[in-house]
Amino acid sequence: MTEQKISAALEELRREIENLEVGDPEAKEKLNSLVENIEENLDYSGASQEHQHLLAEMKETVTQFEVAHPRITGILNEILMSLSNAGI
């Protein structure tokens, strides 16, 4: 169930990224990179250090986007909670 919830949230995040203003290519690039990292870590059961790096990156991104892009921030927080509940 958690993996399905994360997949749905990632798909929603992709849609929100597509809707970002055209004049914000850096934001799109950072968010797309983050989505790729999340997907890679979902399939990786290796060292928790990699997972910790991902979580730190996600928290940093949430902080950066919380004012300008509250919808994206909400989705990222949902993904963070789901990853945490899954033990990642």
CA distance 21 to 40: 27
Per-residue pLDDT, 70: 87
Higher pLDDT pick, 5 / 42: 5
Mean pLDDT value of segment 76-85: 84
Per-residue pLDDT, 80: 84
Domain ranges of the chain: 2-85
Query: Burial level of 41, CB count in 10 A (0-12/13-18/19+)?
Result: middle
CB 5 within 8 A of CB 60: no
Mean pLDDT value of segment 49-67: 81
Q: The whole model's pTM is what?
A: 0.74
Residue 1: pLDDT band (50, 70, 90) is very low
CB 73 within 8 A of CB 64: no
From the CB of residue 20, how many other CB atoms can be counted at a distance below 10 Å?
16
pLDDT digit string, tens, across residues 6-50? 888 899 989 888 887 766 788 888 888 888 888 887 766 555 677
> Angle 55-56-59 (CA atoms, 0-180°, nearest 5)?
85
CA distance 25 to 46: 32
